[in-house]
Amino acid sequence: MTVTTTTAADIPAILDALTERHDTAVGDLRRAIAAYLAGGASPDPAARAAGLFAYPELRVDYEAEGAIPRFTRAFARLNQSGSYATSITRPRLFRRYLEDQLGLLVRDYKVRISVGRSRQEIPYSYVLDGADELSLDGVQAAELARVFPSVRLSDIGDEIADGLFAFSPDPGQVPTRPLSLFEGPRVDFSLARLKHYSGTPAEDFRPYILFTNYIRYVDEFVAWALGELKRPDSPYEALSVAGGVLVTRETADPERAIADGNWRKVQMPAYHLIGPNGAGVTLINIGVGPSNAKTICDHLAVLRPDAWLMIGHCGGLRPSQTIGDYVLAHAYLRDDHVLDDVLPVEIPIPPIAEVQQALFAAAEKVSGESGDDLKRRLRTGTVVTTDDRNWELRYTATTLRFNQSRAVAIDMESATIAAQGYRFRVPYGTLLCVSDKPIHGEIKLPGQANRFYERAISQHLRIGLETIDILRAEGTKLHSRKLRSFDEPPFR
């Protein structure tokens, strides 16, 4: 469908058209697979060329009349006349996001928005989930890939996000610029991986995400979430748990249901406290190491979260620190190496002011401390993130670098998460808790560890949750322009 100049009143119909086109393509692909399985019938090449299995395309055309309006917000901005387009998947899942982005564009610019077919086909593997009528027994994936569209690695790269996108217009045509950071095939790829790694469906992820590197934070989060569900005035409705468990107020024995779930088989289990209209919070136990941190952020980014925060443990590097103290990262020494090829280490990862202020304010509120009392427990400084779990064995080789960086703490995830937030335009922050001081000979013994966990984890988690409440109130102001490049796609 096409309208001359789009208004806010047109947006629901546009999103309905997106949904109808996507549903039709998925249905056609499923029926074609069923026909092939039943009798070996291949889909009509001419129909495929016409877009039978194509993702829908969302297009925004803008012709500036005079000076282009300027806005201070970080997204939903058009810097020049032209066409902007992207392929779209799962429009129901992204409806609220699309409605917000398009609403700002039509409010502030005279644009024409249309829905059509893209040139990218939906890979067959993404339509099998939920298609109970399709029995794939006895058929090989390679066989289906010869007949039906399959995943093409050239379609799922991060060239747009990484600034490597190159226009390839047809001769005589004005180039079409990207409308969003991720196109349909990349989004579908990550939605499937998210379910695999987290053990929960993509629909359950909330816009605010906490990462942790210790399972005891999970225990504390689950206990807090179940307490929330028991409150009669709680805004939350359910707790989605890794392993396919959904707990509601009506669940008879929620602790047992969660304990008996299949979360142990999941690499990075996720837990979502769900409220209406997308509200709530997600906690993900990413374990230890930068590889998992990079992996999960690669896939979470397609959901366009409002913020992600690292709430975990670290080694304290300063003699004045005490086990149980906090570290608020304002800079990162990136020794994780997992992103060096796409985001060189000389690129600075700036602190996000709104996140830093929210973390500090939350620490004040939850701890009940302020001024010098809080400063004795909360250090602001550089965090080293390393990919070497046994960095202590190379102390003489690392001590100079740590000293030069003025680092106050070391871990294996925080810089990776911050760098991924910077790369994918997701506001980020880090508040760590000192669990040991290896340079100074203070290493946790088993009994000490238990006492430390019992004392510190509950307060630390509550600071993270309070921070999210503060950030939620920030609204669109949270999304900083310092995360946006000079040739950014319009969509956040």
Q: Indicate the SS3 state at residue 436.
A: strand
The reported pTM is 0.93
Please report, for residues 328, 386, 411, the alpha-carbon distance to residue 317 in angstroms, rounded to integers and kept in the order given: 14, 14, 11
What residues contact residue 13 under an 8 Å CB cut-off, 6+ apart?
Answer: 1
Q: What pLDDT does 439 receive?
A: 78
* Phi (first) and psi of residue 346, to 5 degrees: -80, -10
Q: Give the residue from 312, 300, 297 showing the smallest Cα distance to 430.
A: 312
Q: What is the mean pLDDT of residues 256-269?
A: 91
pLDDT of 179-226, one tens digit each?
Answer: 999 999 999 999 999 999 999 999 999 999 999 999 999 999 999 999
> How far apart are alpha carbons 484 and 365 in whole angstroms?
32
Q: CA 339 to CA 334: how far, in whole Å?
A: 9
Check residue 301 and give its pLDDT: 98
Per-residue model confidence (pLDDT) at position 30: 96
User: How far, in Å, CA of 439 to CA of 281, rounded?
Assistant: 36
Question: Which of the residue ranges 37-41, 85-89, 172-176 would you say has the lowest mean pLDDT?
Answer: 172-176
Q: What's the rounded mean pLDDT across residues 36-60?
A: 96
Residue indicated by tokens 């019992």? 454
- Is residue 438 classed as helix, strand or coil in its secondary structure? helix
Is pLDDT at 448 greater than 70 in this prediction? Answer: no
Query: What DSSP string runs through 17-60?
Result: HHHHHHHHHHHHHHHHHHHHHHH-PPPPHHHHHTTTTEEEEEEE
pLDDT above 90 (res 455): no
Note the pLDDT tens digit of each residue in 282-314.
999 999 999 999 999 999 999 999 999 999 999
CB 201 within 8 A of CB 301: no
Residue 52: pLDDT above 80?
yes
**Which band of pLDDT confidence, cut at 50, 70 and 90, is reported for residue 2?**
very low
* Sequence-ordered list of residues with C-beta below 8 angstroms from that of 420, at least 6 positions apart, any chain: 293, 294, 297, 298, 301, 339, 426, 428
Average pLDDT of the residues in 156-170: 82
Does the structure show a pLDDT above 60 at 276?
yes
Rounded Cα–Cα distance for residues 273 and 275 (Å): 7
- Cβ atoms of 436 and 404 within 8 Å: the answer is no
Average pLDDT over residues 155-160: 94
Residue 346: burial class (beta carbons within 10 Å; 0-12, 13-18, 19+): exposed
* pLDDT at res. 4: 79
Mean pLDDT of 364-382: 94
Whether the pLDDT of residue 3 is over 50: the answer is no
pLDDT of residue 168 exceeding 70, the answer is: no
